[in-house]
A and B are shown apart, each in its own frame.
Chain A
Amino acid sequence: MSAAAEPLRDTDLGESELEARVRSLWRTPRGVIGWLSSVDHKQIALRYIVTAFFFMGLAGIGAVVMRLQLATPDAHVVNPDRYDQLFTMHGSTMMFLFAVPIMQAVGLYFVPLMIGTREVAFPRLNAFSYWNYLFGCLFLWFCFFSNNGPDVGWFSYTPLSLSQYNVGHRADFWAQMITYTEVAGLSVAVIMIVTVFKMRAPGMTLDRIPLFTWSSLVTAFMIVFAMPAVVVVSTMLILDRMVNTHFFDSSLGGDNLLFQHLFWFFGHPEVYFIFIPATGFVSSIIPTFARRPMFGHTAVVLSLVATAFMSFGLWVHHMFVTGLPRLGESFFTASSMAIAVPSGIQIFCWIATLWSGRPVFRTPLLFVLGFIFNFVIGGLTGVMVASVPLDTQVHDTYFVVAHFHYVLIGGSVFPLIAAVYYWFPKVTGRMLSETVGRWNFWIAFVGFNLAFFPMHILGLEGMPRRVYTYSAEMPWGTLNLLSTIGAIIFASSFLLLLWNIVRSLRRGEAAGPNPWDGDTLEWATSSPPPPQNFTRIPVVTSLTPLWEHRETLPAVAGLRVDRREVLVSTLTEAEPDIRESSPEPSIWPLFAAIATGCTFLGSIYTPWAIIYGALPVTITLIGWFWPKGTKEDES
């Protein structure tokens, strides 16, 4: 730290002057252009979250329509063609456009705050990823609203999705939009890994990283290794459809099981990159409301890492009825059972934390308890479907539909709603209503269980998945009706949440920086956080910094205040390493995303689009990376 004296540093200024200067340095410019150029990780994350919830709403309405169709036998609410589009859009949206992006987005918002930095690594890539994601969502739903939505399921198995059986461009839209939105997912994963590895506040050694940050990091690694598989498979699919590559055409030497292997090599880890961030929410919320540090912090971290590794060795349990060799299948039974161990460890540690703490009952904790209730059911039915003989009965039936909704809604959406109640005050500066929150919880809890528990029985009674109707002679009517009623109740709990949010935004009680007396760094800054997150980068001396230093946090001194400066630290010990300038806002990521989006859109109709599209993509990338004469960073 022996730089020349010319640049102005934070040591030269008084507190209020420093605050004002740093704030104006990091502020996003006003106006439409400014808004479109923003690289602030909080703004981008919030856009991600709002977009993801919006499309969740659409996919949720789709689910209610499907439930209405199934409420009575031989119903005619929608025709079979529309029904197939609905369940394809529901699955694709919930998995690709809602669950994964929203988990990444919560990480984008809170990880920099939790690790005490001002911005993510690669802020422009972050902006680029959001625009890509948004355009992908819009394109896919535009197809659906023009009655051209994909209709071959969110898994698009061949040969049903090949051009012989799926004429037109429905499956092409699916393939290209999945690839396109995964560009966003992969970008955010890379951002997350580098941010957590290199931008932690000084003193935040590996063993002082908060659990939610760990979960985001582990998830990001999983995404980097799993997502390419789905990008590859959806690209192979469109190549088969467009230029007759015959990867999957069995009459010409292709193989349909190849599709399934590649899809599930991604698809199974995907379930865990929806679930692992959710455990991060739970591990943030439980210590705050149990009023003690997390029991078994290290065990939980190791469980996350173990889950991530093991999740890559289970994919074949989606293929137990395809006629693979029995001995090989049994290996995947064992591995699928074994992954219950790290999940079990986490559940035991959460209960132990509550047991030895003094739980304070607020809405976030209620949702977390609901999560444990539901997720344990989903986990246990998961153990059941891991068994080859049991799976041959319940595979592709409503039992499996029940199972994974217990895991995905019970295991991830309940923690997500808990996280909304927990972090809403930080994001907006206002509290959500506690009374409405309790109603919200009980309606969601009852509705969810009423909607999905009967499906276990329906599946065992022989009801297959993805049927648009069933005959009155099948004994499924009553349970289906019950399930539909539950679905409507569950859906209304989201309206209540929306109302709570809208009302609290205007009239909610002021939150202050740390309304729940949380222990992690995001609570150290004001609510909502200023553009620079922290006027002075904090120094971390423990796992629970805010409980350690109740008065003021120790802070780093010596950063420049004439440019956006962040501190790069070492990987394990988080020692300050380099002072680096963070990129200014730029409109180019938006242009680059538009160019990329048009290329992908064109490639649905002609392979030449890749060639023509390369030009605008190159031009926008040159604009994005045009040298600005920034001086070398200092060590």
Chain B
Amino acid sequence: MRALASRASFLAATLLMACSHEQSALAPDGGTARAIYQLFWFFTGVCMAVWLVVMAFMLAAIFRWRGSSPDPMLEPEDASERRISWVVGAGVALTVLILTIFTFASFLTNKSFAEPRPRSVTIKITGHQWWWQVNYEAHRADQTFETANEIHIPVGQPVKLDFESPDVIHSFWVPSLSGKQDLIPGRYTTLTIEADKAGIYRGQCAEFCGIQHAHMAMYVVAQASGEFAQWRAQQLQSATPPHTDQLRRGQQVFQASACAMCHSISGTNAGGRVGPDLTHFGSRMSIASGTAPNTLGNLTGWIADPQRMKPYTRMPSVALTGPDLIAVSQYLESLK
């Protein structure tokens, strides 16, 4: 029964991951990404035309004289030089015109992004080597909560992201929703994202941030506002208390071993602030910042030997006996 459940959850997770690779500037689904996409095709279209015209002139210039015997040395005639000067001059004028149009198109698009808009949700994103800490802000402390590597947003509403980095420079980039924004230690940066329709959008750190820069992904889950409110309410809860002996053993192992020194699980004694908050770990899609789907098998492998899945990760190997390892993994998966 449990095997079946775990297989089903594996399938579900794999499916989620498989259809969630929307990480492309060519598949925009949100406000600024869409405008940039249109600007991209405008630029690309004009540039292709320019390139074709230049190539046509170049090929015509060299094939014009194909077959005619080379002169020892040509003395350019004034009349033809003047004619060519006009063509070159026209080319330069056209270049200036196109560049001016490009500059203004770019400026206007950029300006439209800067227009202030009411934002219902504010999320603080903190970049770490190599994972994303996600804090939902609120006016009341009991309405705030923390999660990691997965950002849920309501569809059709602009969401404000405030960025912070305590270690090195990272860059937040979910191409289907928006351009990227660096997270720079000592500087405040911000970005507004918006999804036009429900879906799962993948993003990835875009600024080289050290040896596991390649495995620093995150998911943005855009949900209808009702579903989002539900998710939010659920995230505000403390962790589900273990209800079987096996899970209770898992919790005990977690709290007694090195796990609790880095990770928090609200409602338990685990209060480490170094690694991701695991209060609702079981509800997340991926482990190790998008490195693998969140399945019991992957999780067990990850805890047993983190350096294997993600070499040089900051998570150390914790010596656990086989049964303890299984128990702790099952416990974490139960934290929905």
Measuring CB to CB, which residues of chain A are less than 8 angstroms from any residue of chain B? 79-81, 84, 151-153, 157, 159-160, 165, 250-251, 254-257, 291-293, 295-296, 321-323, 326, 329-330, 333-334, 337-338, 340-341, 344-345, 347-349, 351-352, 354-361, 369, 372-373, 376-377, 380-381, 383-384, 386-397, 460-462, 464-471, 473-475, 517, 547
Shortest distance from the beta carbon of A632 to any chain B beta carbon, whole Å: 45
Shortest distance from the beta carbon of B123 to any chain A beta carbon, whole Å: 17
Known contacts: A464-B206, A470-B214. The answer to whether A387 contacts B186 by CB under 8 A is no
Shortest distance from the beta carbon of A633 to any chain B beta carbon, whole Å: 39
* B contact residues around A79 at 8 Å (CB): 311
Known contacts: A80-B211, A333-B107, A356-B76. The answer to whether A256 contacts B39 by CB under 8 A is no
Measuring CB to CB, which residues of chain B are less than 8 angstroms from any residue of chain A? 17-18, 21, 23-26, 32-33, 35-36, 39-40, 43-44, 47, 50-51, 54-55, 57-58, 60-62, 64-65, 68, 70-76, 80-81, 84-85, 87-88, 91-92, 95-96, 99, 102-103, 105-107, 109-111, 113-114, 129, 167-169, 171, 173, 175, 178-182, 184-190, 202, 204-214, 291, 311-312
* A contact residues around B185 at 8 Å (CB): 159, 250-251, 256
CA distance A303 to B254 in the complex (A): 68
Known contacts: A326-B111, A373-B55, A390-B40. The answer to whether A461 contacts B23 by CB under 8 A is yes
> Judging by beta carbons under 8 Å apart, are A376 and B54 in contact?
yes
> Judging by beta carbons under 8 Å apart, are A380 and B204 in contact?
no
> What residue in chain A is nearest B73 (Cβ atoms)?
A547
Interface pairs (21), CB distance under 8 Å: A81-B311, A152-B208, A159-B169, A165-B129, A250-B185, A291-B70, A292-B74, A292-B75, A323-B187, A333-B106, A341-B95, A355-B64, A356-B74, A376-B51, A376-B55, A384-B40, A387-B102, A392-B181, A395-B206, A464-B206, A468-B213
> What residue in chain A is nearest B85 (Cβ atoms)?
A296
> Judging by beta carbons under 8 Å apart, are A329 and B110 in contact?
yes
Other than the known A354-B61, A466-B208, what 6 A-B pairs have Cβ atoms closer than 8 Å? Answer: A250-B184, A256-B185, A291-B72, A292-B74, A326-B110, A394-B25
> Judging by beta carbons under 8 Å apart, are A160 and B179 in contact?
no
* A contact residues around B105 at 8 Å (CB): 387
Shortest distance from the beta carbon of B71 to any chain A beta carbon, whole Å: 5
> Judging by beta carbons under 8 Å apart, are A250 and B187 in contact?
yes
> Judging by beta carbons under 8 Å apart, are B169 and A157 in contact?
yes
> Judging by beta carbons under 8 Å apart, are B211 and A81 in contact?
yes
Known contacts: A373-B55, A380-B47. The answer to whether A460 contacts B106 by CB under 8 A is no
Known contacts: A160-B168, A393-B25. The answer to whether A251 contacts B186 by CB under 8 A is yes
> Judging by beta carbons under 8 Å apart, are B181 and A80 in contact?
no
CA distance A508 to B245 in the complex (A): 85
Shortest distance from the beta carbon of A599 to any chain B beta carbon, whole Å: 31
* A contact residues around B129 at 8 Å (CB): 165
> Judging by beta carbons under 8 Å apart, are A383 and B179 in contact?
no
Shortest distance from the beta carbon of B274 to any chain A beta carbon, whole Å: 15
> Judging by beta carbons under 8 Å apart, are A383 and B61 in contact?
no
CA distance A466 to B114 in the complex (A): 30
- Which residue in A255, A352, A357 is a CB contact (below 8 Å) of B186? A255
> Judging by beta carbons under 8 Å apart, are A344 and B95 in contact?
yes
> Judging by beta carbons under 8 Å apart, are A326 and B186 in contact?
no
* A contact residues around B189 at 8 Å (CB): 322-323
> What residue in chain A is nearest B75 (Cβ atoms)?
A292
